[in-house]
Chains A and B, each alone.
Chain A
Amino acid sequence: MAELIRRIRRIKVLDSERCVGCESCMFACTRREGKASLESPRIHIRSIGGMERGFTVIICRACVDPSCMYVCPVSALKKRKVGGVKLDREKCIGCGSCVDACPMSAITMDEEEGKPLMCLYCGFCVDYCPHKVIGKEEVKNGSLPK
């Protein structure tokens, strides 16, 4: 049986040690929507307790079995066949349970809209990483390529 391949990707942290902390990826995420902002990105860069120790990259890793989905009281999060979730904005009541549930702390609330900011796996941020910190990884039917 031929395997169904979806051309969907997730963002992968290739090597956070290469990160210089420029936050170009964060700016890219919001620019995709025409904003110049660091207010509502879906990817986050933080220093590990001071710049000298380098940076950590926080991004949705498109879980095959996503914790955030299970805790949503109104089932606004649907699992995608290739891992990760899709948010139904109509259903979402903005309770923030998914924010608390994510083990990666990759979900934040959009304070203006009162809804969670979920990664769309578009890969726009990857195109603006100047130092190969993040990359796009193809996902086949909910499992990662070996």
Chain B
Amino acid sequence: MDPYLNRVLIIDLKKHSYRIEEREMYFKEYIGGIGAGLKLLKEFLDPKIDPYGPDNVIVFAIGALTGKFPMVSKTISLFKSPHNNFLGESHAGGRSAIALWQAGYGAIVIKGASQIPVYVNIDGNTVQFKDARALWDLGDTRTVGRIMRERTGRTGLRTIMRIGKGGEKLVSYSTVTTETYRHFGRLGLGCVFGSKKLKGLVISGKRSVLARNKQAYKQMYDEIYNLCLSTPTKKYHDLGTAGNILPLNSIKALPTRNFKEVTFEKAEVLSGENLATNYLGRRIACTHCPVGCIHLAVIREKYPDEPYFYKTSLISYDYEPLYSLGTLIGIETVEDFLKILETVEKYGIDAMTAGVVLAWATEAFAEGIISKKETDGLSPSFGNGSVYVEMIEKMMEHKNEFYKLMGKGVEVLAQRYGGRDFAISYRGNEMSGYHTGPAAHLTHITGGRHSHLDSAGYSIDQKILMEKKSITPQEMAKALFDEEAIRQVLSSLVVCFFARNVYTVDRISKCLKVFGWDLNEKDILEIGRKILIEKNMIKRDMGFDMENYYLPKRVLEVATPLGFIDPAYMKETVKYFKNFLFDKS
């Protein structure tokens, strides 16, 4: 086993104190990550608390395979979400997982709130609370990262997590940025940091682990390593997820102009192919990931006040922001897209939610639901990039009530102004870029974090489309449930989902064995199922009822490649899914 993995660092921001405790069972039985994190959350968090208050708790965790095999590069976070008031869960890579593992912890629990802004520097057993008053309101998340980098040790090995103005201003969907280009993106971890006056977290250390059997370790490593570099994983290195734009456009599933359309006439411009050929400046990787899927585009801007004076920036792009800050708001040039994305990155807010919010505001403005009074004189229209940048700026300044509410997501906006029919969101979390069929939407409704990653319904839809064979609500619920359950295993180890085809259950069992976990394939599947149920029980304690969902009218009005979405089919599938969760437990 990995003795340091059992250690949990518990940080109290109110007292500026910390202690280290052991939780062996969480890592032995639940293999770490989400499995261990949920146990810790249950132990430390009262589900009824106000997510903005000091009683909210943040858990970071890594898992049994962290540091040992490639593409096991993610850290999970759990908290109560200020964005939807249910369970907050968000994963990120960068150096975070390896750094936490090297620091000698399986998890970190952060509780309480600080009186003054601080950032916490963790180096092995040493924990320092550093004054961050001068860093508050500094603006750019990149600058904040640079300052922390100068003041803490171990270059090349540490993780530097931080929030931007979004978190400080309590935008409910603000992110925690790590290593400039990776994010704990969804459900507002940045906002929880902000509410705790926690500006950032630097983590490093020098722990390592010995394999029980050197030869077996090397052999297993080679098997996994070689698979990571072969198809289908390699596509993430080549075009990256941006390669999805054209295929989704061609099957008429690419949400465009607030889901009014499913094809975009400028899809070629925003395609992964065009970006890679004409804008890609560099690719980087998370630590211990040979794939290197992080695509950085180069944007060169002219300063308006002086001739021949330019600024060059590198912005990481993916499919999701290309959808939300591209097609969904009708952006027609790569330059405009990158400019909006850079603004979102600077302030540290969730690119997906930000795009859906801007799309809703554009339509609400056109419909007369909001006017120039709300927009503070701006006239948003699809395709007008500079207006969107200005709107984000005004949102950060809390310019008026409307802009303040913009920082709370589309459901809050629709509640105040109307327009719920075209507010594309489920359970308080804005929709991802797939109008592939019912499964994509069902994933958002039934998934633990209401994200496309929960059970990848878009993939089920595309399989149905290819095989031309529809499935019953019960079969659909089973497919979604099984996928989400196995993803709990990956999120506990914690394996990047891009390696989901590499880490099959039998290989996971073999990898675990090298380091002393004796779990067969059946045990592993059972762990996944148990974790998924556990997660939903915690959500239930937070007042969540899966069947109490709302299907935006817009989603029903626009055909998917599998035809129009049938609300009755959705309802029945959700019922079956809920039964899978709670009947047996």
Question: Footprint of B on A, CB under 8 Å?
Answer: 20-24, 27, 30-31, 33-40, 44-47, 49-52, 54, 111, 128, 130-131
Provided the pairs A47-B156, A51-B180, A52-B282 are in contact, do residues A34 and B102 lie with their beta carbons within 8 angstroms?
no
Tell me which of A39, A45, A49 contacts B206 (CB under 8 A).
Answer: A39
Query: Which 4 residue pairs across A and B have the least CB separation, nearest first?
Result: A37-B208, A20-B292, A34-B214, A46-B156
Q: Establish whether residues A35 and B282, one from each chain, have CB atoms under 8 Å apart when the complex forms.
A: no
Pair A38/B98 contact, Cβ less than 8 Å: yes
Contact A23 B287 (CB under 8 A): yes
B517 at the interface (CB under 8 A from A): no
**Contact of B217 with A34 in the complex, beta carbons under 8 Å:** yes
Say yes or no: is B207 at the interface (Cβ < 8 Å to chain A). yes
- In the complex, what residue of chain A is closest to B216 when comparing beta carbons? A34
> Smallest Cβ distance from B259 to chain A, in angstroms?
34
Annotate B52-95 by CB proximity to A: 1 below 8 A, 0 otherwise.
00000000000000011010000000000000000000000000
| Residue B457 is within 8 A (CB to CB) of chain A in the complex | no
Q: Name the residue of chain A whose CB is nearest to the CB of B209.
A: A36
Contacts of B155 in A (CB 8 A): 46-47
The residue that B181 contacts in the complex, of A35, A38, A51, with Cβ under 8 A, is: A51
Bound-state CA distance A81–B284 (Å) is 38
Q: Which residue of the partner chain, among A22, A31, A37, contacts B289 with CB atoms under 8 Å? A: A22
Within 8 Å by CB of A31, from B221, B229, B294, lies B221
Show the binding face of B for A, using Cβ within 8 Å. Answer: 67-68, 70, 98, 102, 142, 145-146, 149, 155-157, 179-181, 206-211, 214, 217-218, 221, 225, 229, 282-292, 294, 296, 313-314, 515
Cα A26 to Cα B196 with chains together (Å): 36
* Known contacts A39-B102, A51-B180; A21 and B207 CB within 8 A of each other: no
Q: Kindly state the separation between the CA atoms of A102 and B98 in the bound complex, as whole angstroms.
A: 28
Task: Determine the chain B residues whose CB is within 8 A of the CB of A50 once the complex forms.
Answer: 142, 145-146, 149, 180
Given A23-B98, A38-B67, 9 more A-B residue pairs with CB atoms under 8 Å apart are A20-B283, A23-B156, A23-B287, A34-B211, A35-B211, A37-B67, A40-B208, A52-B282, A130-B292
A38-B217 in contact (CB<8A): no
List, in ascending order, chain A residues with CB within 8 A of B181's CB: 51-52
Sample (26) of A-B pairs whose CB atoms are under 8 Å apart: A20-B283, A20-B285, A21-B285, A21-B287, A21-B292, A22-B285, A22-B289, A22-B292, A31-B221, A34-B211, A34-B214, A35-B210, A37-B67, A37-B208, A38-B98, A40-B208, A45-B156, A46-B155, A47-B155, A47-B156, A49-B149, A51-B180, A54-B282, A128-B225, A130-B291, A131-B292
Which A residues are CB-close (under 8 A) to B289? Answer: 22
On whether the beta carbons of B288 and A51 are closer than 8 Å, the reply is: no
Q: Could you tell me if A39 and B207 are in contact, using CB atoms closer than 8 angstroms?
A: yes
A132 to B314, CA, bound (A): 23
In the complex, are the beta carbons of A51 and B209 less than 8 A apart? no
Known contacts A34-B214, A45-B156, A54-B282; A24/B208 CB under 8 A = no
Assembly CA distance A140 to B265 (angstroms): 61
A20→B95 CA distance, assembly (Å): 13
Measured CB to CB, the closest approach of chain A to B312, in angstroms, equals: 10
Contacts of B292 in A (CB 8 A): 20-22, 130-131
Query: Chain A residues near B290 (CB, 8 Å)?
Result: 22, 24, 128, 130
Q: Which residues of B contact A128 (CB under 8 A)?
A: 225, 290
CB–CB B209/A37 < 8 A? yes
Tell me the bound Cα distance from A49 to B313 in angstroms.
14
Whether A36 contacts B67 in the complex (CB less than 8 A), given A22-B292, A111-B206, comes out as: yes
| Alpha-carbon gap, A24 to B286, bound state (A) | 10
Cα-based distance from A49 to B155 in the complex (angstroms): 9
Enumerate chain A residues within 8 angstroms of B218, measured Cβ to Cβ.
31, 34
In the bound complex, residues from chain B placing their C-beta under 8 Å from that of A36 are 67-68, 208-211, 217, 515
Tell whether A22 pairs with B288 under 8 Å between CB atoms, given A31-B218, A34-B214, A51-B179: yes
The answer to whether B314 and A52 touch across the interface, beta carbons within 8 angstroms, is yes
Q: Which of A49, A51, A111 contacts B284 (CB 8 A)?
A: A51
Bound-state Cα–Cα, A39 to B99, Å = 11
Chain A: CB-nearest residue to B142? A50
B214 to chain A, nearest CB (A): 3
Q: Which residue of A lies closest to B150 (CB)?
A: A49
Question: Is A27 within 8 A of B285, CB to CB?
Answer: no
Q: How far is it, in angstroms, between the C-alpha of A34 and the C-alpha of B289 when the chains are bound?
A: 19
In Å, the complex CA distance between A22 and B294 comes to 11
Q: In the complex, what residues of B have CB within 8 A of residue A34's CB?
A: 210-211, 214, 217-218
Q: How far is the CA of A23 from the CA of B70 in the complex (A)?
A: 10
- Give the chain B neighbours of A30 by CB distance below 8 A: 208
B339 vs chain A, min Cβ distance (A): 17
Q: Which chain B residue shows the least CB distance to A33?
A: B214
**Chain A residues within 8 Å of B284, by CB:** 20-21, 51, 54
Contact residues in B for A47 (Cβ distance below 8 Å): 155-156
Which residue, of B142, B145, B218, B515, has the highest number of chain A Cβ atoms within 10 A? B218
Q: Which residue of B lies closest to A25 (CB)?
A: B290
Closest to B315 in A: A52
State how many angstroms separate the Cβ of B204 from the closest Cβ of chain A: 10
Query: What chain B residues lie within 8 Å of A31 (beta carbons)?
Result: 217-218, 221
Least CB distance from A82 to B in Å reads 27
Expressed in whole angstroms, the Cα–Cα distance for A50 and B155 within the complex equals 10
Q: How far is the CB of B203 from chain A (nearest CB, A)?
A: 13
Say which residue of A27, A46, A111 sits within 8 Å of B288 (CB atoms): A27
Q: Choose one: B68, B142, B229; the contact of A130 (CB below 8 Å).
A: B229
> CA of A130 to CA of B70 in the docked complex: distance in angstroms?
12
Instruction: Find the residue from A27, A33, A38 having the highest chain B CB count within 10 A.
Output: A38
- Chain A nearest CB, measured from B237 CB (Å): 8
On chain B, the residues within 8 Å of A45 by CB distance are: 156
Of all chain A residues, the one with the shortest Cβ separation from B65 is A36
Please indicate the chain A residues that have their CB under 8 angstroms from the CB of B157 in the complex: 38
Complex: chain A residue closest to B225, CB-CB: A128
Q: How far is the CA of A46 from the CA of B156 in the complex (A)?
A: 4
How far is it, in angstroms, between the C-alpha of A46 and the C-alpha of B286 when the chains are bound? 13
Query: How many Å from the CB of B441 to the closest CB on chain A?
Result: 35
Q: Give A90 to B180 CA distance when docked, in angstroms.
A: 45
Closest B residue to A40 by CB, please name it. B208
Tell me how far the C-beta of B288 lies from the nearest C-beta in chain A, rounded to whole angstroms.
Answer: 6
